[in-house]
Structure 1
Amino acid sequence: MKRLDGKVAVVTGAAQGIGAAYAIGLAAQGAKVVVADIADTASVVAQIAAQGGRAIGCKVDVTNNESLNAMVSQTEALFGPIEILINNAAIFATLALKPFTQITEDEWDLVMRVNVRGPFQCAKAIVPSMRKNGRGKIINIASGTFLRGAPMFCHYVSSKGAIVGQTRALAAELGADNILVNCILVGLTESEGVKEHKQLGAAKAPTLAARLIKREMVPEDLLGTLYYLASADSDFITGQCVNVDGGAINY
């Protein structure tokens, strides 16, 4: 029996990169997966099907309640109530590194709307479905940039710090419902977005030098922690952050 057999999982921002790895991995562990993204999800859904898994793709704007509610209704009709939410959707790879004095208020607001308000709205939309199950796992995705206060990325770093706070606040509110809320702090990972980001190349050498595990981090390095937090193995853990970065930062 697989660790997540029969579980229904939603992964936002799952059309590519780390989100796609999450979706494919959860399906491999037996979950019925909703591949949610504003971009085309067909490729990821096809990969899951080719491996014998079950998945549907949903075009979802995480900042639009109508879009989120439609996804929940479709999911419940096809798979049943949702038990796992991976709040992965965020603006990251399209952001240019720049001094905070050059970040416009409109850019700041966009990052906060997607990276902070998005997970908040996703939780609001999906928690009623989890309550039908009598249990749930919300896994928020933050970043190691919050731990070290990475420069030239003030809006992104601030948004991921807010996710840590949101994780703790939701855990406190939802514990009585047996809905557990935890967070993964992700180190610099060789996703498509990072590989294509010209400015991030300069960060790779010092990041690798700081790691105790001397190699590049790939999306699959996050899957063991994801499975643990999504499964019954972590049924007495909530409000916590797990730092996955090869030992670069002690936390």
Structure 2
Amino acid sequence: MQLSGKVAIVTGASTGLGRAIAGRYAAEGAAVVVADINDPEPAVAEILEAGGVAVGQRVDVASEDQVTAMVAEVISRFGQIDVLVNNAAVSASLKQQPFEDIDLHEWRKVMDVNVLGVFLCIRAVTPSMRARRSGSIINIGSGTAIKALPRLTHYVASKAAVHVMTRSLARELGVDNITINAIAPGYFLTEGNLGNPEFLALQRDIAVQNRSIPRDAYPDDLTGAAVFFAGDQSRFITGQILPVDGGSV
């Protein structure tokens, strides 16, 4: 019960890595807000059935008004926000293609969700965390931003922005005892990635071959790092980018 008494918002938590993190947080004693643009209730029901505490919030993280309303609702319900996990992102649905073929609308959508959404969520929770002089922010970046994967320029650029934002904000938030770190996953077999057969065929075998631990990666492989950064054992760690990829980076 490493997170007992904490309140955590996990964005993009209706499926995939976010859902796994939300479930693990609840199992560790946190009250979890499952935030997603898609229906969060199945994930909430799963947590409640396992004996955890969870509520759902339907939110588009790229909307300032919706993010502000979500945070206000969480504070009204629970009185505090201890942990924010910025996991929501456009990723699995993207097609690998030369950079000059990327549609401008798609580029802007990726940046709006993957970068602006992270910024808006951090900005919205910061006043509450500052008032209590405590908080943990975990951004989900990507190993692609470290290894510079080609043919996904918009996605790679967006995750690189998340990494640098993490390091920059650590300098601003540390004075208020707020930590901010990023986890950089490798290629995980999430529902979204399994549902994109073209991307799966291109990436799965290569990802496994490049790892020091040569096996597939599953959402549960990430949750330990997410618990660590949310818990009291990491209170003197901030501004770090942690690859979780079986030793690929």
TM-score range, shorter chain: over 0.9
Corresponding position: 1:104 with 2:103: yes
Q: Specify the alignment match of 1:226 in structure 2.
A: 226
Q: Specify the alignment match of 1:42 in structure 2.
A: 41
Q: What's the CA shift for 1:66?
A: 1.6
Q: Specify the alignment match of 1:12 in structure 2.
A: 11
Q: Specify the alignment match of 2:245 in structure 1.
A: 245
Structure 2 counterpart of 1:213, one-letter code: I
Q: What's the CA shift for 1:103?
A: 0.5
**Residue 197 of structure 2: SS of its match in structure 1?**
coil
Corresponding position: 1:86 with 2:47: no
Q: Contact 1:83/1:133 (CA < 8 Å) preserved in 2?
A: no
Q: Contact 1:81/1:132 (CA < 8 Å) preserved in 2?
A: no
**Residue 215 of structure 2: SS of its match in structure 1?**
coil
User: For the residues of structure 2 that align with 1:32 and 1:132, how far apart are their CA atoms?
Assistant: 20
Q: Specify the alignment match of 2:193 in structure 1.
A: 194
**Residue 140 of structure 2: SS of its match in structure 1?**
strand
Q: Specify the alignment match of 2:119 in structure 1.
A: 120
Structure 2 counterpart of 1:242, one-letter code: L
Q: Contact 1:82/1:133 (CA < 8 Å) preserved in 2?
A: no
Corresponding position: 1:178 with 2:177: yes
Q: What's the CA shift for 1:12?
A: 0.3
Q: What's the CA shift for 1:160?
A: 0.4
Q: Specify the alignment match of 2:133 in structure 1.
A: 134
Q: Specify the alignment match of 1:212 in structure 2.
A: 212
User: For the residues of structure 2 that align with 1:102 and 1:9, how far apart are their CA atoms?
Assistant: 39
Q: Specify the alignment match of 1:3 in structure 2.
A: 2
Which stretches of structure 1, 4 residues or more, deviate above 6 A after TM superposition? none
Question: How much identity, in percent, do the aligned residues show?
Answer: 46
What do residues 134-156 of structure 1 show as CA deviations (whole Å, max 9, x unaligned)? 20000000001111111110100
**Residue 143 of structure 1: SS of its match in structure 2?**
coil
Q: What's the CA shift for 1:132?
A: 2.7
Structure 2 counterpart of 1:78, one-letter code: R
User: For the residues of structure 1 that align with 2:14 and 2:208, how far apart are their CA atoms?
Assistant: 27
What do residues 82-141 of structure 1 show as CA deviations (whole Å, max 9, x unaligned)? 010000000001111110010022211111111001000000111111123220000000
Q: What's the CA shift for 1:65?
A: 1.8
Q: Contact 1:140/1:163 (CA < 8 Å) preserved in 2?
A: yes
Q: Specify the alignment match of 1:236 in structure 2.
A: 236
Q: What's the CA shift for 1:74?
A: 1.4
Structure 2 counterpart of 1:83, one-letter code: D
* Count of residues in correspondence between the two structures: 248
What do residues 149-204 of structure 1 show as CA deviations (whole Å, max 9, x unaligned)? 11110100010000011001111110001110100000100000110112222211
User: For the residues of structure 1 that align with 2:215 and 2:16, how far apart are their CA atoms?
Assistant: 19
User: For the residues of structure 2 that align with 1:105 and 1:245, how far apart are their CA atoms?
Assistant: 31
User: For the residues of structure 2 that align with 1:38 and 1:181, how far apart are their CA atoms?
Assistant: 24
Segment drifting more, 125-134 vs 4-13 = 125-134
**Residue 97 of structure 1: SS of its match in structure 2?**
coil
**Residue 163 of structure 2: SS of its match in structure 1?**
helix
User: For the residues of structure 2 that align with 1:58 and 1:111, how far apart are their CA atoms?
Assistant: 21
Q: Specify the alignment match of 1:144 in structure 2.
A: 143
Segment drifting more, 50-59 vs 66-75 = 66-75
User: For the residues of structure 2 that align with 1:235 and 1:41, how far apart are their CA atoms?
Assistant: 30
Structure 2 counterpart of 1:134, one-letter code: R
Cα RMSD, aligned residues only? 0.8
Q: What's the TM-score once normalised by structure 2's chain length?
A: 0.98
Q: What's the CA shift for 1:64?
A: 1.4
